[in-house]
Structure 1
Amino acid sequence: MLLSARTARRAVAGAVGTGALTGALLFAASPAAMAEPPNCTAADLAGVASGVSASTSAYLFTHPDVNYFFTSLEGKNRDEVRVEVENYLNANPQVRAELGAIRQPLVDIKNRCGDTNGDGIADT
């Protein structure tokens, strides 16, 4: 079964927790965005997010078993996906570590730029 592009993105985003595009758009609309430290603009966040996305894609293409797992989440609701992803990553700590390493630049920019509550939006 082929997976729709939207569902595939949602499954991977659930695993790596990006939500970056929405965060970048909301971050850019925030009045606090102008007062952020250097390299904390919406463009910076979008650039880091696109690099993380490209690296995630390359990882999935070179790890067909992991790609198959995320593809198999098609049609499941968000809660089912969250549980299955957590169970899969607990059973596959190397995959968790590798995906975590891919996601780290996004975590770093969010931490550096003031995202203390984990929602992708800089606190005002």
Structure 2
Amino acid sequence: MTIPSALLAVAAAGAAILGGTATAAAQPPPPPPPNCTAADLSGVATGVTAATSAYLFTHPEVNAFFTGLKGLPKEEVRMRVTEYGDAHPQVRADLQGIRQPMVDFRNRCGANN
């Protein structure tokens, strides 16, 4: 095989590989699961935020605890929240219940953020 014919063979192989990739890349992505649009996320997040706000306003001691975390390092916040939840299991359960729609959305829609 001469150098020009070897180059032609390499070019043909590259075109075949790239051509297959272009065809695969041109296919549209699969549609998202039902109720997984940006609007759905916004609606769920809004509901969770409103419910959290209502809970905190009606539980001033919990509101004071979370307000007092402002400005602390993330690790300390995490530690204090864990300790508070351990000492107040009903509050932990209430807040987990309020956040559950967001957990469900992320699980259903594959959103891990």
Equivalent position to 2:37, from 41, 66, 76: 41
Compute the displacement of 1:75 (Å): 1.8
Q: Distance in 1 between matches of 2:98 and 2:67?
A: 19
TM-score, structure 2 as length reference: 0.71
Compute the displacement of 1:100 (Å): 0.5
Compute the displacement of 1:84 (Å): 0.4
Equivalent position SS for 1:74: coil
How many pairs were matched up? 86
Counting only pairs closer than 5 Å after superposition, residues 77-88 of structure 1 correspond to structure 2 as: 77-88=73-84
Compute the displacement of 1:114 (Å): 2.0
Match in the other structure for 1:92 = 88
Equivalent position SS for 1:35: coil
Match in the other structure for 1:72 = 68
Counting only pairs closer than 5 Å after superposition, residues 54-69 of structure 1 correspond to structure 2 as: 54-69=50-65
Unaligned runs of 5+ in 2: 1-27
Q: Distance in 2 between matches of 1:74 and 1:110?
A: 27
Structure with higher helix content: 2
Q: Distance in 2 between matches of 1:113 and 1:73?
A: 31
Counting only pairs closer than 5 Å after superposition, residues 10-29 of structure 1 correspond to structure 2 as: none
Q: Which has the larger radius of gyration?
A: 2
Identity, in percent, stands at: 63
Matched, 1:101 2:84: no
Aligned-residue Cα RMSD (Å) equals 1.6
